Structure 1
Amino acid sequence: MIKFYTRKFHIKLIILFLLSLIALASLWVTHDLVKNLAKEEKKKIELWASANEELSKQQEDENRDYSFVFKVLEENNTVPTILTDGNNEIIGSRNIDSLKISTKERAAKMIKMMSAKHKPFVITISEKEKNLLYYDDSTILKKLYYFPIVQLIVLILFIFAAYLAFSSIRNSEQNLVWVGMAKETAHQLGTPTSSLLAWLEVLKDNELPDTLLVELDRDIHRLEKITDRFSKIGSSPSLRSLNLIDQIENSIGYLQKRISGSIVFVKKYNPNEEVYVKINESLFEWVLENLVKNAIDAMQGKGTITFTVRDDIQVAYIDINDQGKGVPKNIAKTIFKPGFTTKERGWGLGLSLSKRIIEDYHKGKIFVLQSDSVRGTTFRIVLKK
């Protein structure tokens, strides 16, 4: 099952890599397009400067045809330009909002900005007279500069939306599977449980040892609880304010007689203390059983399981520690996923069910508080009071 999640992680990495390649290719193409367009605009302004220079020679040759020169000058409808004399006094401008050069200060600011971006073209009128042609990027070119960023944002938003949609569909399917499995299990357990209750009454009439009958009675009631637990999956179980210490004591008491004597329970709380929290008794016991069984497996059937309870103002904390080899950091967040297990014959449902019960039904929290090979693993449960 670990291989399954590792494979899913690798698939996600491949998808992320491919999306990164698409994004980089898009950025490169757009950058190349902007670069070429900038070159074209520079050539256009260079031609425009030449046309201005050619037009200034009109006084020297009055019979010359300047129709082509005028055509070149009139066709610049996109690139902002400012034509100044040698003293930086504006002679003319094109494609610029007049308000931006309405005063000398604004005009000087605009010319400074243009010269910082592009070197102005020098237009030689005569040996003593020279004009300067300043220009800026066109509106289209400016938009293209920001296009890759917009494109990347749209791509990220699309991926995020797709992820949410697929996650929602997947979670809905998982919920249907969980509910269906739980209801069917409850139905299947119902018949033999009823039969065992009848047989228990028969055995009581035959004067069997009381201790045997008591334990048999507890096991049958446990079957009833298991049936009740599964029947609650998919519905909204009722929560009652119960003493948390009593619930833990009852669970430890039942499990202690049914597991190996090599397992020792340590209780770091006062058994006579009262810590009331809102829980569903049967579902909460299920969580404790899952965590204890998980601890026993982690310690290979031998070691100490420590229960610690801390009462806070608004919540109560339950820490369950084992002396196992710990959970590797790379799978610490994965252990609560349905189907994840490190056991050869495990189904990977215990911790997933526990998380669902605590967080979905009790609106609490369950997580790995700490884990290493020296101190073992500690699961923490946080419940509202």
Structure 2
Amino acid sequence: MRVSRLGEQWLQGGGLWLNRHSSIRIALIVFSVLFAVLSLVISDRLVSRIAVEEHEKLEMWANATRAANAYDQQMIMTYLYRILDANTAIPTILTDQDGKVLSYYNIDVPEKNADAFLERELERYKRGYPPIVIDDLSSPQYIYYSDSYGLRYLVIFPYIQLGVFLLFLGVAIVAVVSLKRSDQNRIWEGLSRETAHQLGTPISSLIAWKEYLASMGTEPMVTDEMEKDIQRLGIIADRFQKIGSSPNLRPSDLHEVILRTIAYMQPRISKQVELIAPKAPEESIIVRLSEPLLAWVFENLIKNAVDAMHGEGKISISYIAKEREVYIDITDTGKGIPKGRQKTIFRPGITTRQRGWGLGLSLARRIVEEYHGGRIYVHHSTLGVGTTFRIELDRETE
């Protein structure tokens, strides 16, 4: 769960961060080009080094063959020693039949504890390649060896290249995914602001009509209800206007915010739904928040719960207050959410209603996580029993 959450947060936040900082993208591109050039240079040097070694060995083999055909014993011995001295890359240890080290080549032996070091190297070589046996002597000798430095580089280097390639592939995937989400967010932001702009005209018209009706002596109850609806439309327009812009977060008493939300929602939902307010905490729970936006989240969760209960049941809100954070649980007695859908319900377009775009929970998640730095998720749900949504927010500290 922790790993998946971190991965999801990176896709939502880290990728967008990458796309917002052009200097980071340029640095990654420059680094990839430099690494490609460096890979070519190192590969070319390794190939050239091996080519030179192979050419020298072939020349030595040709000269030794020429000496053997000429039956020149002195020249044969000369080339034999040259072949022995030509090994400047392969670490080698020569032992007798009892395992005693007779000599070694191409091994950097420390001055202290040299014998112990050679014994450890010998044991390591024994676990590698089988030894070469020299059995034409009075007592057999054994040559143990390991990979040359060039061969080690050739073995390791492709894995380094593969790792860097996978790293850049992952960064590219994250950037593409985040760009797609960024485009979706811009569409939502544009739609929200346009909606707020379009609401301005009918709100102004309704204000004028309310004043006209009041001047005509209409019953105060009518104009008072119109005033409430006008205020509500103003709040909705303000919420849509805030989507996509940095919200003004202020330290607020969370309990008071929730009580105001319940007071607004109770007369606007089914009378057969009991909306249970949280118990007043022993000490005030102060959270830095935007009340219009966070109240929108609570209202959305309450409306979804009412739909899940088909207009009949209980919705309770409770707190779990900790030293640095607070958990708000919204629990209903509805039909529950299948386990396989508990993560997908926050995606845009996911809805169980016949009407609606399925943006409510998606916007709620964005308001809680991106604007308030918290979390919202399905805490637990049982089919036929109900569901608990949990919101985690940081408490304001002095």
Give the TM-score normalised by structure 2: 0.70
Mapped to 2, the partners of 1:144 and 1:271 lie a distance apart of 66
- Which SS does the other structure have where 1:257 is aligned? helix
For the residues of structure 1 that align with 2:80 and 2:354, how far apart are their CA atoms? 85
- Root mean square deviation, CA, Å: 3.5
Write the mapping of 1:95-106 to structure 2, written as runs, cut at 5 A.
95-97=106-108, 99=110, 103-106=114-117
1:1-385 paired onto structure 2 within 5 Å: 63=73, 66=76, 69=80, 72-73=83-84, 76-86=87-97, 92-97=103-108, 99=110, 103-126=114-137, 128-147=138-157, 149-270=159-280, 275-383=285-393, 384-385=395-396
Instruction: Provide closer, same or farther for how the CA distance between residues 72 and 327 of structure 1 changes in structure 2, counting only shifts above 3 A.
Output: same
Shift of residue 186, structure 1, vs aligned partner? 0.7
1:272/1:192 Cα in 2 relative to 1: closer, same or farther (>3 Å)? farther
CA distance in 2, matches of 1:102, 1:146: 30
- 1:359 touches 1:365 (CA, 8 Å); kept in 2? yes
SS at 2:314 equivalent: strand
The answer to whether the Cα contact below 8 Å between 1:125 and 1:131 also exists between their aligned partners in 2 is no
Q: Residues 244-288 of structure 1: CA distance to partner in whole angstroms, max 9, x if unpaired?
A: 333333322332323332322122424999654333232222112
Any idea what SS the aligned residue of 2:268 has? coil
1:142, 1:320 → 2: CA distance? 60
CA drift at 1:327: 2.1
Aligned partners of 1:197 and 1:220 also within 8 Å: yes
Q: How far is 1:184 from its partner?
A: 0.6
Q: CA separation of 1:105/1:247 partners in 2, compared to 1, >3 Å: closer, same or farther?
A: closer
Amino-acid identity (%): 42
One-letter code aligned to 2:260: N
Cα deviation for residue 73 of structure 1 reads 4.0
Q: 1:263 to 1:84 in 2, by over 3 A?
A: closer
Q: 1:223 to 1:81 in 2, by over 3 A?
A: same
Alpha-carbon separation, structure 2, partners of 1:269 and 1:325: 26
Length-normalised TM-score, structure 1: 0.72
State the Cα deviation string for residues 313-353 of structure 1 (Å, max 9, x = none): 44443321112222222332232233333334331211121
Map Cα deviations across residues 328-379 of structure 1 (whole Å, 9 max, x no partner): 2233223223333333433121112112222322333322222121441111
Judged with a 3 Å threshold, the aligned counterparts in structure 2 of structure 1 residues 212 and 249 are, in CA distance, closer, same or farther, namely farther
Could you tell which deviates more after superposition, 366-375 or 272-281? 272-281
CA distance in 2, matches of 1:359, 1:215: 35
Give the Cα–Cα distance (whole angstroms) in 1 for the partners of residues 343 and 240 of structure 2: 25
Point out where structure 2 has 5 or more consecutive residues left out of the alignment: 1-53, 55-60
Structure 1 gaps, min length 5: 1-43, 45-50
In 2, Cα distance between equivalents of 1:88 and 1:244: 79
SS at match of 1:174: helix
Letter matched to residue 110 of structure 1: E
Aligned mates of 1:101, 1:166 — CA distance in 2: 56
